[in-house]
Amino acid sequence: MTANDYGIEVIDTPLDVDAPAWNALLACQPDATPFMRHEYLAALHTSGSATPETGWTPRFILLWSNAAGVAADVGRERTLLGACALYLKDHSYGEYVFDHAWAHAYQQHGLRYYPKALVAPPFTPVPGARLLARDAASRAELARAVIGWCTETRRSSLHILFASDADIVACEAAGMMVRHNVQFHWSAPPGGYADFDAFLGTLSQDKRKKIRQERRKVREAGVAFRHARGSAIPEQDWDFFYRCYERTYLEHGNAPYLSRDFFRRMQHDMPQNWLVFIAERAGRAIASSLIALNDRQLWPATGQVAYGRYWGALERVDCLHFEACYYQPLQWCIDNGVDRFEGGAQGEHKMARALLPVRTRSAHWLAHPAFADAVQQFLAREGQGIERYMDELDQRNPFKAGAA
């Protein structure tokens, strides 16, 4: 297809995007995640969590074939070939790929950085498909179209965060710069583990001992856990989880990004994608963690993946965070044949819990040529630093030699 065979549509609310068509396109991606489902993005909007009032102004970009107005295509149905969730941002919070220094440099030179354009699900540092497309040619055209729209609307910059490998190929071909970062993920070996003890047996002695000590501290403090998944999670557990989640933010002096109404919508619209752990002591709930799950039946190419997302506690217990956010989810993953557990953004302390470093990538375009050159040089230096950091982390592998 040529450029004339495509048409672009820009929609200013996810509610006007055809949900079945969007989700069908998502299902075509090898790196699909539940955070790009239409239900998830719509809930962020309707709950007031990601809206113009909170600094997230949606501009969903759709790539169509057989666009109306092309003479040869009159009377033919359009086909959705590509789509992305783009937001105009007047700040850089809730992104987890930091560009505050870039914004400050713009300001120092009397230039406007905000509102910038961002392609990523809000508040969600999870790698995956960002440029949803039927094929590589459509993805490449979508990348060019998004840059073209940013140019026409005079945006300072475009940022596609935690992108998939296929996205990065399309972005580089469109002239975007690539930035590297590191996360920590746990992966099961072929065939999985027989149980949690078998998993521990693959770790070096000091790491195995440390995990057992941390788990014992929680048990000896009288804490026990229960979990529930999907529609089996009762309303009171969702309510309790939110109390814990909100408390964590408030203790750090911030309001939570996500509202209670957002999680209420998750309970009703995407129940199969959530797993909750509740910590109890003396018959009283004291902490909770919420794990997201992908859908193996919908996306077999992605495999079964669990994503560590949110947590909070009403009481302080030594090592409770590690138990709620790592050991309980890992034990559940082992028992249920999950292929991968992603621990979220940052945190090399996760290596001691057997989550290994993996590269994540984002793509960036800056309209101002001089700033683009400066950022390109910065990214080259930063990339060299990431290489050295990865080498250092490799020396601290928590597994026995040959076990990972």
In 28-42, which positions are buried (b, 16+ CB within 10 angstroms) versus exposed (e)?
ebebbbbbbbbbbbb
Residues 21 and 169 in one domain: yes
70 pLDDT higher than 70: no
Question: Does residue 203 form part of some domain?
Answer: yes
Residues 134 and 243 in one domain: no
Residues 330 and 203 in one domain: yes
401 band by pLDDT with thresholds 50, 70 and 90: confident
Mean pLDDT over 38-51 rounds to 98
Residues 153 and 204 in one domain: no
Residues 151 and 124 in one domain: yes
Residues 213 and 312 in one domain: yes
Residues 12 and 98 in one domain: yes
pLDDT for the residue numbered 72: 41
Residues 266 and 144 in one domain: no
Concatenated DSSP letters for 40-55? HHHHHHHTTSSSGGGT
**Is the overall model pTM greater than 0.85, yes or no?**
yes
Mean pLDDT over 49-72 rounds to 82
pLDDT for the residue numbered 6: 86
Question: Does residue 398 form part of some domain?
Answer: no
Question: Does residue 344 form part of some domain?
Answer: no
Residues 367 and 333 in one domain: no
Mean pLDDT of the chain: 93
> What is the percent of the chain with per-residue pLDDT over 70, rounded to a whole number?
95
Residues 255 and 332 in one domain: yes
Choice among 162-171, 358-367, 394-403 with the minimum mean pLDDT: 394-403
3 band by pLDDT with thresholds 50, 70 and 90: low
Residues 146 and 211: their CA atoms lie apart, in Å, by: 46
Question: Does residue 368 form part of some domain?
Answer: yes
Helix (H) or strand (E) segment spanning residue 84: strand 79-84
Name the residue range of residue 328's domain: 193-338
292 band by pLDDT with thresholds 50, 70 and 90: very high
Question: Does residue 343 form part of some domain?
Answer: no
Residues 54 and 197 in one domain: no
Residues 346 and 254: their CA atoms lie apart, in Å, by: 19
Question: Does residue 139 form part of some domain?
Answer: yes
73 pLDDT higher than 50: no
For the domain that residue 212 is a member of, what is the CATH number? 3.40.630.30
pLDDT for the residue numbered 69: 37
**For the chain, what is the domain count?**
2
pLDDT for the residue numbered 346: 76
pLDDT for the residue numbered 175: 98
Q: Would you say 160 and 362 are in contact if contact means Cβ atoms under 8 Å apart?
A: yes
Question: Does residue 350 form part of some domain?
Answer: no
Q: 317 in helix, strand or coil?
A: coil
Residues 178 and 115: their CA atoms lie apart, in Å, by: 21
Residues 138 and 21 in one domain: yes
Reported as a single tens digit per residue, the pLDDT across 131-174 is: 999 999 999 999 999 999 999 999 999 999 999 999 999 999 99
Question: Does residue 59 form part of some domain?
Answer: yes
